Amino acid sequence: MVSNLVKIIKDEFKNMILDKGVATIMVAGIFLYSILYTIPYHNHIVREVPVGIINNDNSALSREIVRELDTSEYIKIKTQPVDLETAKKQYYKDEIKAFIVISKDFERDIKRNKGSFITAYTDSAFLTVYKQIATGINEVINTKNNTLIIGSYMKQGMSKIQAKNTKIPFEFINIPLYNPVGSYQNYIYPLVLIMILHQTMLIGIGMICGMLREKMRGTTIRTHKGKAEYIKIEKFCKFSDNSAEIVLGKSLAHVALYLVYSFLYFLIYPPLVTYQMTYKIISLLLILIPFLFSVSFLAQALIYFYKTRESALFIYIPSSVPIVFLLGFIWPNEAINPILRLFATCIPAVPGADALVKINQMGADFFQVHNDFWILILQCLLYYSIACWGLNRQIRKVR
Amino acid sequence: MKGFINVFKREFNIIRHKPFILFITLVYPLFFTLIIIWTFISGTAINLPTAVLDENNSDVSRALIRTVNSTRTVNIKYKLSNIKEGYDLIRNGKIYALLVIPRDFKSDLNMSKQPKIVCYYNNQMILTGGLISKDIQAAISGLTKSNINLISIDERVKSNPYLNYSYFLTYAGIAHVFQVFAVLLSVWSIGIEFRQGSTKEWLHTADNSIVSAVFGKLSLYFLILTILITCSYIFYVVFCTAPFEGSIFYTFIGACAFIFAYQMMGLLFIALLANLRFAFSLGSVYVSLGFTFAGMTYPAFAMPLAARIYSSFLPVRPFVNLIVNQALRDIPVIYDIKYLVWILTISLLGVSSLPLLKKKVLNEELWYQI
């Protein structure tokens, strides 16, 4: 039993590393994807969104506001169009993402204590960009308001402290946790790494199974020497007919290889790629191991669908983005339909990413994510049974 | 033309007997489209669980909590007695934000001592955290009596006034699903001829014209995918009442160009590599990076130069611009023509690889490779 298992593990390692097609995914892909994904978020946050400003007042105060808006880290005054039509055209051409209008007599109205306004034409289709513009404008105008009003109170005879307390009776402090600067690298990259582990493992295993099934049916393959040869194998696994043993042996090989990758991703990458990590190794392992087993068993459970070597690519590549949406980080779980949530819970990446991000980025302990752990254990049991049953059918078919 | 029709018929007969490919072409794209629509169907995120630690417990602090609770995004689910509970709740994802009102809030307020209200929020989830903290801040600053401001901001949101991010994500998500299928199917349908050693027979069916051979084959998938993507968007707009302001016709042309451009990229990969497996791997890298690099979660203009260059070779970037402009921004078509030109320019890359493919099609040594 044990000697068989060792042979199966060795054989599966060969499949993963020596088969060029599989190695492209399960070895090269691991490095390639993780390195490529560091590029887009390299700047961490969206700064200096280009906006236009129409200054109809052209007073000292209005020019001051233009200057202050321009120095805000969120936005950059890229153009100063003369009228609304020009501004609109620039917006249509995508030269600016929004535009601001300062009304005529702006300064005069303020000086007479009448109050005035600026008009911000924004575009919220793309929320990430909108958020920066809105924050930038709000910050600048709020600060300006406070100085103006405190100044006018002081003119009425209040002391500076009195004036400040009247304008701002209490302070409101927003404290962002876990990702203080709002870095997109911190936000997306950990999810991307988990998805790379998940997807490459599913595809790789699918390719191995697909190839074996193709060979069982008989297929022509060009060998290393360049000769086309007809190959037909009799057995799915050379060393055993016991599906429980085969599935377990294969998955041990997958998990061993992917644990190495996980160490790379979660222990070595963080300082290199600069993303946040808490290094709670024990909690991490307690989630990582059932997660990787669950992925391996799931991949093997779907053996029926891998008719050919390429089938797995067709099955899994389109699923990446929809799965990312369901992880609960892009879109809050509370806003996702409960039935769809239940469906999503069957995907190992969903409880996996939830627990791993909470441990790795938010500093949760194992007992705070034990729900996810039990879901992963249930998945393991379920997919292991299906994988054994499915493989049995494949083995029987040949006999 | 006869060759074109013969290849078209031949391709139809090939996939007719392949239930797996039929499933991948006809059902699978719709499955993922529906999943994406379903994910975002609720629109804006509302009633996100929040906790409050009210150490003051006065009429003033309670009024403040009521105001916060009445905002759309916030649902005060927990009233806590110590801060540690709050940290734990945030950490295990039970709440997104924690509002802390200090013990002497009311008396400090009366004595003009400027007490501090603190709102901790989970910024690991940037979008959700940002939304909730912004709303809490707005609700609270609206409370201050002396909130007379000299300068007010009159905000006119030109598109999507409800700040509903789901529209953008759904429109972009559907485009992403179809780019994957356009590339993979085009790589597969040509690559399988190399894998099975039938390239010569295929070319022969096309009367030895590589143009008829390729376009006869790809036009079948082009037809299917354009019909499916059109139906997907129509379904989203009509049955899910998503906004669509602009030109339907122009968007349709854009969608056709989009599918075509990705098919041409698939053609380019297989012409370069003449190996089903390699081309498949290259195609998968290309499409999987697509969503991120095209700037769906983080805008392309904020990326480093290398990423921007790469993203300009992704038809999904101009296409999402085009469809979002037409659907949500109501931008006149004339300003969107550049996106169509952009998409078609990318597709020229694939078209120009046809002579190369012809050479490889005639080379029997490239058969049966795995």
B196 pLDDT higher than 60 = yes
Nearest CB among B120, B197, B310 relative to A220 is that of B197
Q: Do A21 and B303 touch (CB under 8 A)?
A: no
Number of domains in chain A: 2
CATH at residue A100: 3.40.1710.10
* Percent of residues in chain A assigned helix, strand, coil, to nearest 5: 65, 10, 25
Taking CA–CA distances from A329, the nearest residue in chain B reads B125
Whole-complex ipTM: 0.88
Which of A167, A198, A220 is the last residue in one of the domains? A167
> What is the predicted pLDDT for the residue at B228?
96
A181 in any annotated domain: no
Same domain, B213 and B283: yes
Same domain, A243 and A282: yes
Residue numbers in A near B108 (CB within 8 A): 170
Same domain, B30 and B58: no
Same domain, B128 and B190: no
Q: State how far Cα A141 lies from the chain centre.
A: 34
Same domain, A37 and A54: no
Taking CA–CA distances from B34, the nearest residue in chain A reads A322
B269 in any annotated domain: yes
pLDDT in tens, B246-261: 889 999 999 999 999 9
Same domain, B297 and B328: yes
Same domain, A154 and A278: no
What are φ and ψ of residue A220, in 5° steps?
A: -95, 130
> What is the predicted pLDDT for the residue at B163?
66
> What is the predicted pLDDT for the residue at B187?
93
> What is the predicted pLDDT for the residue at B285?
86
Taking CA–CA distances from B155, the nearest residue in chain A reads A120
Same domain, B135 and B221: no
Q: Which span out of B211-225, B299-313, B323-337 was modeled with the highest average pLDDT?
A: B211-225
Which of B79, B107, B141 is the last residue in one of the domains? B141
A221: enclosing H helix or E strand: strand A219-222
> What is the predicted pLDDT for the residue at A159?
81
A294 in any annotated domain: yes
B179 pLDDT higher than 90 = yes
Same domain, B329 and B354: yes
Q: Do A119 and B306 touch (CB under 8 A)?
A: no
pLDDT in tens, B72-112: 888 888 888 888 888 888 888 888 989 888 888 888 888 87
Same domain, A285 and A350: yes
Same domain, B134 and B179: no
A90 in any annotated domain: yes
> What is the predicted pLDDT for the residue at A397?
64
A297 pLDDT higher than 60 = yes
Confidence of residue B159 (pLDDT cuts 50, 70, 90): low
CATH at residue B114: 3.40.1710.10
Same domain, B14 and B54: no
Q: Do A125 and B160 touch (CB under 8 A)?
A: yes
Q: What percent of chain A has pLDDT over 90?
A: 30
| Average pLDDT, rounded, for chain B | 87
Report the b/e string of B35-72 with b at 16+ CB within 10 A: bbbbbbbbbebeebbbbbbbebebebbeebbeebbebe
Of the listed ranges A44-48, A309-313, A389-393, the least confidently predicted one is A44-48
Q: Which among A49, A149, A310 is positioned nearest to B369, based on CA atoms?
A: A310
Same domain, A208 and A274: yes
Confidence of residue B295 (pLDDT cuts 50, 70, 90): confident
Q: Do A127 and B168 touch (CB under 8 A)?
A: yes
Q: Do B119 and A309 touch (CB under 8 A)?
A: no
Residue numbers in B near A195 (CB within 8 A): none
Number of domains in chain B: 2
Taking CA–CA distances from A186, the nearest residue in chain B reads B124
CA atoms within 13 Å, Cβ hemisphere of A369 = 30
What's the Cα-to-Cα distance from B200 to each of A282, B10, B193, B234, rounded to whole Å?
58, 14, 9, 41
- Tell me the mean pLDDT in the region A73-77: 89
Residue numbers in A near B120 (CB within 8 A): 175, 177
| Residue in B298, B325, B335 to test binding to A, most A beta-carbons within 10 Å | B298
What are φ and ψ of residue A21, in 5° steps?
A: -65, -45
Confidence of residue B57 (pLDDT cuts 50, 70, 90): confident
Confidence of residue B274 (pLDDT cuts 50, 70, 90): confident
Residues in chain B: 370
B205 pLDDT higher than 80 = yes
B137 in any annotated domain: yes
| Average pLDDT, rounded, for chain A | 87
> What is the predicted pLDDT for the residue at B116?
85
B155 in any annotated domain: no
Residue numbers in B near A129 (CB within 8 A): 299
State which residues form the domain around A238.
Answer: 2-41+187-398
B154 in any annotated domain: no
Nearest CB among A24, A42, A168 relative to B281 is that of A24
Same domain, A251 and A329: yes
> What is the predicted pLDDT for the residue at B335?
86
B251 in any annotated domain: yes
Same domain, A290 and A254: yes
Which of B106, B141, B176 is the last residue in one of the domains? B141
- Tell me the mean pLDDT in the region A195-216: 92
pLDDT in tens, A332-354: 888 888 999 999 999 999 999 99
Same domain, B241 and B299: yes
> What is the predicted pLDDT for the residue at B348?
93
- Tell me the mean pLDDT in the region B272-297: 85
Same domain, B25 and B75: no
Same domain, A105 and A234: no
Q: What is the DSSP letter of A37?
A: T
Nearest CB among A29, A165, A228 relative to B114 is that of A165
Q: Which among B165, B200, B194 is positioned nearest to B269, based on CA atoms?
A: B194
A286 pLDDT higher than 90 = yes
Same domain, A24 and A105: no
Specify whether the backbone of B126 is left (phi greater than 0), alpha (psi in -120 to 50) or beta. alpha
A175 in any annotated domain: no
A180 in any annotated domain: no
B213 in any annotated domain: yes
Confidence of residue B115 (pLDDT cuts 50, 70, 90): confident
Same domain, B202 and B182: yes
> What is the predicted pLDDT for the residue at B160?
63
Q: State how far Cα B143 lies from the chain centre.
A: 38
Q: Do A130 and B163 touch (CB under 8 A)?
A: yes
A176 in any annotated domain: no
A193 pLDDT higher than 90 = yes
Nearest CB among B48, B169, B280 relative to A334 is that of B48
Which of B141, B172, B191 is the last residue in one of the domains? B141
Q: What is the DSSP letter of A16?
A: H
Same domain, A354 and A384: yes
Of the listed ranges A24-33, B129-138, B209-218, B346-355, the least confidently predicted one is B129-138
> What is the predicted pLDDT for the residue at A285?
94
Same domain, A246 and A376: yes
Distance from CA of A368 to the nearest CA of B (A): 6
A179 in any annotated domain: no
Same domain, A297 and A216: yes
Please state, in angstroms and rounded to a whole number, the distance separating the CA atoms of residues A263 and A112: 66
Confidence of residue B30 (pLDDT cuts 50, 70, 90): very high
A157 pLDDT higher than 90 = no
Same domain, B75 and B169: no
State which residues form the domain around B56.
Answer: 48-141
Nearest CB among B38, B151, B298 relative to A116 is that of B151
Burial of A218 (0-12, 13-18, 19+ CB in 10 A): exposed
